[in-house]
Amino acid sequence: MTTSRLTLALAGNPNSGKTTIFNSITGARQHVGNYPGVTVEKRQGMRHYAGKNLLVVDLPGTYSLTAHSLDEIVACNFIVEEQPDILVNILDSSNLERNLYLAVQLLELEKPVVFALNMTDVAESMGLKIDDRKLEQKLGSVIVRTVGNRSRGIDALIKTVVDVAERKKKQSFTLNYDPEIENKINKLSELLSMTPGLAYPVRWLAVKLLENDENIKRQVTRVSENTAAITLAETLRAEYKAATENNIEFAIAECRYRAVSEIYQDCVASRGDHYQTVSDKIDNILTHRLLGLPIFLGIMWLLFNIVFTVGAYPQGWLEDGINQLGQLISHSMPASDLKSLIIDGIIGGVGSVVSFLPLILLLFLGIALLEDSGYMARAAFVMDRIMRAVGLHGKSFIPLLLGFGCSVPAIMGTRTLENPRDRMVTILVTPLMSCSARLPVYTLLIAAFFSQAAAGSVLFSIYLLGIIMAIIMAFLFRKTLFSGASEPFVMEMPPYHLPTLRSVFMHMWERSVLYLKKAGTIILAVSILIWFLTNYPNDVSYSKNYEQAKAQIEQTVNTQLELEQPQKEELNQLDAEQAGEKLANSYAGRFGHFIEPLIKPLGFNWKMGVGLFAGFAAKEVVVSTMGTIYSSGSAEDDSSALQNALAADPSFSPLVAYTLMVFVLLYTPCIAAISVIKRETNSWKWMTFSMVYSTALAWIVSFLVYHAGLLLGY
């Protein structure tokens, strides 16, 4: 082969291990989750092998080349239209019969195909014995055994792929349909063979036109500039229905399933239909009709308690380090705007956010373990009854679960939903799930106003409220804006896996890097902006002459040493009053007072209002903004004392703190999430609607929480 570059497309069913093998081949750090729908766009990576540059493309999972959901369309369009040099079909050995349906469709494309028989260890544990050589003969293509999460067989797979691609040998596989269907395929193929410019195998095109594939119909019309083949296909479909009273596309699918079943029965031996795997036995408990939901809630409650209690130790160490850095700079720099910017703006803002990194890591450790083990798919199954009651189904719960991490991939994950109404509703309610960016706000307020014993339960209640509100809003949207019949719940239950340390730590590493990048960019920029807004203008008209009052006290201290301590406290009080007046008259203070009437019914003051407004950029910014504001308004420049400063603020109370957490949970998504909503819906209208309805919902629910708390005596 003369070219030094090959394009490899990794195709396969959802959860077959494509992304794991992609990571092993390219070394890329793509997120891997043990449930369908992780890869929602094609991803690319490079690998150099034997003097050739391999462009490896990881496609979204698809069960068929007849696409329904958006992620399937991405996969099918790349395979059919961009025509990679070679296809690598990842087969899940533990679900081989279902995986072979896509395999035979890929073979019909007459492109070079290599099969990676993945998860062979899982298949063996289930008592399945696969005859590789016989399967190779049936499919007419090379098969390589792999265990993706252990990187077994990857080198052999790469070598095989390059060898097969260099030979450029067309596949010899032909799937024979029923005689009546074959007759119509031959008629259509004869016409298509006389059509110039078609870049696809004629027999494959004929089958796709008989299946009424809209995408292929557009391709043929665009290339041939006539509709003769389209018209003939419609005529042949009508003839078949008249003769058999059956749709030809269903008949074609039945023929494929029959062929796949015959291949599977010839090549695979099993222990029998009544053999229960370890996954089956675990599912008897975890997906139990009565116990499933309490177990799920118990697992999530345990996760949040571990995050708060275990994470408190490394968080304290980080806070001490940041505090010492602030004191070092404070003692080594003269008083100036630059010193204030560094201590109050950068350290007070960014430092307060960075200190929550251990909690973020622990949260994602828990989520990664649940994902990679396979439990998340069970959680969707358990939630199916609740989701179905609001007009959705359990598969919609997967993006909601992803929302615990970040709303951006969660919104993109809705592409796995075939029903456009389900997809739109899920997009609109996903931001109500409590993403990791909100966690610093919760932990700050919980630590300041709630006991250590109650901390985990308070945190759990906020996450649970997000789930409840998402379900309520989904019900309202499904009954009003997106009414229609709900889809049945169909979803793969993958076998349980023991998560690998590499996969789990890769997940944690990715999220921590993203978190720190955000701290070093968006949060840093907003912190500097907030510092400017809280420190300017300089020409503030104070209510009294603070400098003169402080000079008088200092003079008294010099003559009456026995009164030094109480007078120092008076000096500190004057400093705090002066800083408070300056803050109230700053640009931020003026804006805060302007919006205060809107948030006062919720128990919030203008300082909280400024924090919430800044949080539109990123939810962590609420913490950095409060850190900057309270550092500016305190007598001590101690960036790690934000918790104490909040507890000392008379405007705050446990009820106000909880109400503020509720508002942060529900109000408008961050800029990144809003941008993704615009891209996924392709609509400014729905993007704006998402911002407006969520903020209105936050105000209403927060109002109810605050006033209910007041009535109960809190």
Q: Please, are residues 4 and 51 in contact by the beta-carbon 8 Å criterion?
A: yes
Between CA 622 and CA 608 the distance in angstroms is 8
Q: How confident is the model at residue 702 (pLDDT cuts 50, 70, 90)?
A: very high
Q: How confident is the model at residue 397 (pLDDT cuts 50, 70, 90)?
A: confident
121 annotated to a ligand binding site: yes
479 annotated to a ligand binding site: no
694 annotated to a ligand binding site: no
Between CA 92 and CA 424 the distance in angstroms is 31
Q: 111 or 634: which carries more pLDDT confidence?
A: 111
273 annotated to a ligand binding site: no
What domains lie within the chain, and their CATH numbers?
5-167 (3.40.50.300), 179-269 (1.10.287.1770), 511-538+573-711 (no CATH)
Hunting for tokens 């497309």 — which residue is that?
9
39 annotated to a ligand binding site: yes
pLDDT at residue 349 tops 70: no
59 annotated to a ligand binding site: yes
40 annotated to a ligand binding site: yes
422 annotated to a ligand binding site: no
pLDDT 10s digits, 253-288: 899 999 999 999 999 887 655 556 677 788 888 888
Is residue 172 left, alpha or beta, with left meaning phi > 0 and alpha meaning psi from -120 to 50? alpha
Q: How large is the average pLDDT for residues 285-312?
A: 81
The CA-atom distances, in angstroms, between 468 and each of 247, 474, 586, 709 are 43, 10, 40, 19
24 annotated to a ligand binding site: yes
60 annotated to a ligand binding site: yes
623 annotated to a ligand binding site: no
| Helix-helix angle 564-584:546-559, to 10 degrees | 170
12 annotated to a ligand binding site: yes
580 annotated to a ligand binding site: no
In 17-165 the beta strands, taken as DSSP E runs, fall at 43-49, 52-58, 86-92, 113-118, 129-130, 143-145
13 annotated to a ligand binding site: yes
Q: Please, are residues 259 and 266 in contact by the beta-carbon 8 Å criterion?
A: no
Q: Which of 309-318, 359-368, 466-475, 694-703 has the highest mean pLDDT?
A: 694-703
Task: Name 78's Cβ contacts closer than 8 Å, sequence gap at least 6.
Answer: 9, 42, 57, 59, 84
Question: Alpha helix (H) ranges present in 152-227?
Answer: 154-167, 179-192, 202-210, 214-224
Q: Which of 288-292, 430-434, 520-524, 702-706 has the highest mean pLDDT?
A: 702-706
Residue 666 has what pLDDT? 92
Q: What are the φ/ψ torsions at residue 72 (nearest 5 degrees)?
A: -65, -35
527 annotated to a ligand binding site: no
451 annotated to a ligand binding site: no
The candidate with the shortest Cα–Cα distance to 403, out of 673, 150, 173, 22, is 673
Residue 572 has what pLDDT? 66
The CA-atom distances, in angstroms, between 280 and each of 149, 232, 375, 394, 492 are 22, 49, 13, 19, 13
pLDDT at residue 518 tops 70: no
Q: How confident is the model at residue 633 (pLDDT cuts 50, 70, 90)?
A: very low
Q: 714 or 702: which carries more pLDDT confidence?
A: 702
23 annotated to a ligand binding site: yes
Q: 210 or 318: which carries more pLDDT confidence?
A: 210
Instruction: Report the DSSP beta bridge partners of residue 354.
Output: none
pLDDT at residue 689 tops 90: yes
Between CA 500 and CA 504 the distance in angstroms is 6
178 annotated to a ligand binding site: no
pLDDT at residue 491 tops 70: no
Q: 465 or 632: which carries more pLDDT confidence?
A: 465
pLDDT at residue 371 tops 80: no
Q: How large is the average pLDDT for residues 70-82?
A: 75
Q: How confident is the model at residue 344 (pLDDT cuts 50, 70, 90)?
A: low
pLDDT 10s digits, 23-44: 888 876 555 554 445 555 667 8
Q: Please, are residues 346 and 520 in contact by the beta-carbon 8 Å criterion?
A: no
316 annotated to a ligand binding site: no
Residue 273 has what pLDDT? 56
**pLDDT above 90: percentage of residues in the chain:** 11
Q: How large is the average pLDDT for residues 433-461?
A: 85
Q: How confident is the model at residue 488 (pLDDT cuts 50, 70, 90)?
A: low
Mean pLDDT of the chain: 80
Q: Please, are residues 34 and 372 in contact by the beta-carbon 8 Å criterion?
A: yes
Q: Please, are residues 431 and 424 in contact by the beta-carbon 8 Å criterion?
A: no
Structure-block tokens of residue 164: 């097969």
538 annotated to a ligand binding site: no
58 annotated to a ligand binding site: yes
pLDDT at residue 164 tops 80: yes
Residue 696 has what pLDDT? 94
Q: Please, are residues 588 and 610 in contact by the beta-carbon 8 Å criterion?
A: yes
Q: How large is the average pLDDT for residues 49-63?
A: 85
- What is this structure's pTM? 0.64
Mean pLDDT lowest among 93-107, 450-464, 531-545, 570-584? 570-584
